[in-house]
Amino acid sequence: MNVTARRVFTLLLLVYGLYDLAHPGRGTLLDGVDLAIHETGHLVFGPFGEFVGFAGGTLFQLIMPLTFVGYFARRGDQHAASVALWWVGQNCGHIAYYVADASAMELPLVGGGEHDWNYLLGELGLLTQDHKIAHAIVVTGVLLVLGSSVWGLVAAGRATATKGSDELAGAES
């Protein structure tokens, strides 16, 4: 992908990410993927106890895209890593929406069962703080979306500069 396409893509992600974070609860592009990852997290973390099992959905929802951040950064594809970090920020909106529902428990749950965040915040004695915690998570998501977008724009330019100097070095040999 050329530098212009990467920059346009990054700007589109920025706009979409901020819109998504500002409009919680509406269906989004990644809902199905994020939900599948969330539910898998309960299975992965379930063996570590009840509390960790409940937290595991959200943990896995953050760990999966962070794994991609590390993978792409290690491969030297900083732009792809920035897109994966954007995914973490985007996920914060969905997590915050779920946290904000902890007291009310109005959201439909997959397969019924208990509300993760009602249980988690209840165990921590923070159930009455659900909206404040959700707000902090949204702010974190906004910062991640903004930061990942700046990273993506810078990385797009660096990829072109690196490619140009690599081609120049190859022509000199």
Domain ranges in the chain? 3-23+38-164
Pair of tokens at residue 173: 């040999």
pLDDT mean across residues, the chain: 91
Q: Distance between CA 123 and CA 125 in Å, rounded? A: 6
Burial class (CB in 10 A: 0-12, 13-18, 19+), 124: exposed
| b/e burial code for range 142-167 (CB count within 10 A of at least 16 → b) | bebbeebbebbbebbeebeeeeeeee
> What's this model's pTM, rounded to 2 decimal places?
0.88
Query: 35-39, 82-86, 161-165 — which is least confidently predicted?
Result: 161-165
Q: Distance between CA 56 and CA 95 in Å, rounded? A: 12
8 A C-beta contact, residue 61 and residue 41? yes
Which pLDDT value is given to residue 159? 64
Q: What's the pLDDT tens digit per position in 19-72?
A: 999 998 887 888 889 999 999 999 999 999 999 999 999 999 999 999 999 999
Q: Distance between CA 21 and CA 23 in Å, rounded? A: 6
More confident residue, 161 or 86: 86
pLDDT at 153 > cutoff 80? yes
Which pLDDT value is given to residue 160? 55
Which pLDDT value is given to residue 168? 37
8 A C-beta contact, residue 99 and residue 91? no
Query: What average pLDDT does the segment 119-123 reach?
Result: 98
Q: What size, in residues, is the chain? A: 173
Which pLDDT value is given to residue 169? 39
Rounded (to 5) percent helix, strand, coil in the chain: 80, 0, 20
Query: 96-100, 104-108, 140-144 — which is least confidently predicted?
Result: 104-108
Q: Is 163 helix (H, G, I), strand (E, B) or coil?
A: helix
